[in-house]
Chain A
Amino acid sequence: MKKRLLVMLLALAMGLTLAACSGGEDKKPDSSSSAPTASPSAGGESAAPAESAPAGDESDLAYVKDKGTLVVGITNFEPMDYQDANGQWIGFDADMAKAFAASLGVEVEFSEITWDYKVFELEAKNIDCVWNGMTLNDEVMAAMGTSVPYCQNAQVLVVPADKAGDFENLTSLEGLNVAVESGSAGEDAAEALGAATIPVQKQADTLLEVSAGTSDAAVIDLLMAGAMIGEGTSYDNLTYVLNLNTVQGLESENYGVGFRPGSDLVEAFNDFWAASVADGTAKTTAETYGVQESVILD
């Protein structure tokens, strides 16, 4: 509800500006290809579209099928969503998203988003789902319709390799400056362990902080740490030492896919996932990207 209030406030301020400026500037018409009107089968299209709530459409599935495209909100996140040398999106999540779209009979479109605004992006219908190694924390579960967990993850502490010994067996991060991605699960973990956090825009930026010595350590996803630091990267001077979930005595985190609240796409995804596990395509795809240890295959 707090978020809704914030949106209303923003809208009020901007509405004022828009209304005042509209004399000089054309209002952009709805883009015809992706106008957020309900599909005919949805039936519930009201005369004043401004009054229909985000989840008020009868069927999100029908909406996506009607426009023929599933827009997948991602950030660049190896090994889940990243571009190959030809600029095509690949990765475990990207490949599964392509298969999911195919199962619905629609095209897939990947749209890079700013992670902090993922809920806005969904509700504004700029994207239809967030599918990017998203940790299912309380905040995400409250704001989105979320799928069954499909992958396990943990938060790890990244430190300079030559100082790795100093960090082993720590039970608290008090007195340390720790770089985290703003709004990430890693930020929560670092704060819970008493670190002074330095929030930056991207997980990748946290590594720059540690490498440059402006932060003592960083907290990022285990999956990402596996791909981005150590031998063969620009960060061969970094290593990861602690599983913060273990330190906190928490269970592993789960990755899930986020849809609009109340969307029937959740159910469609869950069915798709169960089928993919059953016929082995999930496992094959996981092995392609070396994440079979983390993906939940039972």
Chain B
Amino acid sequence: MFFASAEFQTVFAALNTGFVRTLKLFFITLAGAIPLGLVISFGSMSRFPPLRWLTRLVIWAVRGTPLVLQIIALYYVPPLMKLFSWGSGESGRFTAVAVAFVLNYACYFSEIYRGGIQGVPAGQQEAGLVLGMTRRQIFFQVTLLQMIKRIVPPMSNEIITLVKDTSLARVIALQEIIWMGESFLKGNQGYAGLVWPLFFTAVYYLAFSGLTTILLNRLEKKLEFFR
């Protein structure tokens, strides 16, 4: 029985270790980018033109360059310029990758938010104002949920993309699941030249993106109580 073999057990344990890193990166990116994206979207809609232009310039730069390049630049350039160091080893690599992912995804999210906020009819804001609500109350009590309803489908696409994009982290040797899968090609823990672990990683991605899709669909259903 292959699944009981020592080879499978060893590879399985290694892939799990890699997948935990993948998941950690995934959740930290969401936890950071979802609120930061909102801040950036406010910047891009600011009534103060210099802030608005600056924010849009940043969004353009981040969306206009490949994430993989941002990871490399963010990890190597600051220490090479003697600005600061990310720290050595696994934790330094992870911090740099996480910052790159949060920034990159926050910029993508901010554009989705902007579309969502601007898609809520102006009359909603006016109705709130006339009823003596503050802008903060209008945002949280009136606009936010309508915006969320609008952005769930495009956000779902981005989130599924993020599941797969985490694999880019291996460009600076963050040992996520694909890196671990590849390690058995070259030799790892006594096994060398194994091809199947690399392709077996697909099982993890499929399972996780499947689960994510189900949860996001459920959220979409939950928001169907109003139109």
A and B bound?
A: yes
Residues of A at the B interface (CB closer than 8 Å) are 7, 10-11, 13-18, 20-21, 24-25, 27-31, 33-36, 49-52, 54, 69, 71, 75-78, 82-87, 109, 111-114, 117, 120-121, 123-127, 201-205, 207-208, 211, 224, 227-229, 233-235
Residue of chain A at shortest CB distance from B102 = A25
Give the complex CA separation of A16 and B88 in angstroms.
Answer: 25
Residue-wise interface mask of B (72-112) relative to A, using a CB-CB cutoff of 8 A (1 in contact, 0 not): 11111111111111111111100110010011001000000
Q: Which residues of B contact A25 (CB under 8 A)?
A: 36, 99, 102-103
Q: Is the CB–CB distance between B87 and A112 below 8 Å?
A: no
Q: Is the CB–CB distance between B77 and A34 below 8 Å?
A: no
Q: Is the CB–CB distance between B189 and A13 below 8 Å?
A: no
Count CB-based A-B contacts (< 8 Å): 169
CB of B74 to closest CB in A, whole Å: 6
Q: Which residues of B contact A76 (CB under 8 A)?
A: 183, 186-188
Residues of B at the A interface (CB closer than 8 Å) are 10, 36, 39-40, 43, 54, 57-58, 61-62, 65, 70, 72-92, 95-96, 99, 102-103, 106, 170-173, 175, 182-183, 185-190, 192-195
Other contacts beyond A111-B89, A205-B185: 6, CB < 8 A: A11-B73, A25-B102, A71-B89, A114-B173, A124-B80, A204-B182
CB of B11 to closest CB in A, whole Å: 12
Q: Is the CB–CB distance between A11 and B81 below 8 Å?
A: yes
Q: Which residues of A contact B72 (CB under 8 A)?
A: 10, 117
Q: Is the CB–CB distance between A27 and B103 below 8 Å?
A: no
Contact A126-B77, Cβ < 8 Å, known A111-B89, A235-B193: no
Q: Which residues of A contact B96 (CB under 8 A)?
A: 28
CB of A28 to closest CB in B, whole Å: 6
Q: Which residues of A contact B61 (CB under 8 A)?
A: 16-17, 20
Query: Considering the complex of A and B, which 7 residue pairs feature the smallest CB-CB distances, nearest first?
Result: A31-B87, A124-B79, A204-B186, A78-B187, A204-B185, A233-B193, A234-B193
Q: Is the CB–CB distance between A228 and B192 below 8 Å?
A: yes
Q: Which residues of A contact B189 (CB under 8 A)?
A: 83-87
CB of B192 to closest CB in A, whole Å: 5
Contact A114-B172, Cβ < 8 Å, known A76-B183, A78-B187, A203-B186: yes
Q: Is the CB–CB distance between B102 and A28 below 8 Å?
A: no
Give the complex CA separation of A111 and B88 in angstroms.
Answer: 8
CB of B20 to closest CB in A, whole Å: 14
Q: Is the CB–CB distance between B88 and A71 below 8 Å?
A: yes
Q: Which residues of A contact B193 (CB under 8 A)?
A: 204, 207, 228-229, 233-235
Give the complex CA separation of A11 and B76 in angstroms.
Answer: 9
Residue of chain B at shortest CB distance from A121 = B76
17 cross-chain CB contacts under 8 A: A17-B70, A24-B43, A25-B99, A30-B85, A30-B87, A69-B88, A76-B187, A83-B189, A86-B189, A113-B173, A124-B80, A126-B79, A126-B92, A202-B186, A204-B187, A204-B193, A205-B182
Q: Which residues of B contact A16 (CB under 8 A)?
A: 61
Q: Which residues of A contact B54 (CB under 8 A)?
A: 20
CB of A4 to closest CB in B, whole Å: 9
Q: Which residues of A contact B65 (CB under 8 A)?
A: 13
Give the complex CA separation of A7 and B90 in angstroms.
Answer: 23
Q: Is the CB–CB distance between A50 and B79 below 8 Å?
A: no
Give the complex CA separation of A205 and B156 in angstroms.
Answer: 33
Query: Which listed residue, A84, A126, A207, touches B88 by the CB 8 Å rule?
Result: A126
Residue of chain A at shortest CB distance from B188 = A83
Residue of chain B at shortest CB distance from A75 = B186
Contact A31-B85, Cβ < 8 Å, known A20-B57, A82-B187, A112-B173: yes
Q: Is the CB–CB distance between B83 and A127 below 8 Å?
A: no
Q: Is the CB–CB distance between A78 and B86 below 8 Å?
A: no
Give the complex CA separation of A204 and B187 in angstroms.
Answer: 9
Q: Is the CB–CB distance between B187 and A10 below 8 Å?
A: no
Q: Which residues of B contact A208 (CB under 8 A)?
A: 185, 195
Query: Which listed residue, B73, B77, B186, touches A78 by the CB 8 Å rule?
Result: B186
Interface centre among A11, A27, A36, A204, by most B CB within 10 Å? A204
CB of A192 to closest CB in B, whole Å: 25
Q: Which residues of A contact B172 (CB under 8 A)?
A: 114, 117
Give the complex CA separation of A27 and B190 in angstroms.
Answer: 41
Give the complex CA separation of A49 and B83 in angstroms.
Answer: 8
Q: Is the CB–CB distance between B77 and A125 below 8 Å?
A: no
Q: Is the CB–CB distance between A35 and B85 below 8 Å?
A: yes
Give the complex CA separation of A233 and B77 in angstroms.
Answer: 40
Q: Is the CB–CB distance between A28 and B84 below 8 Å?
A: yes
Give the complex CA separation of A30 and B43 in angstroms.
Answer: 28
CB of B203 to closest CB in A, whole Å: 19
Q: Is the CB–CB distance between A28 and B95 below 8 Å?
A: yes
Interface centre among B54, B91, B173, B189, by most A CB within 10 Å? B173
Q: Is the CB–CB distance between B39 and A24 below 8 Å?
A: yes
Q: Which residues of B contact A114 (CB under 8 A)?
A: 170-173
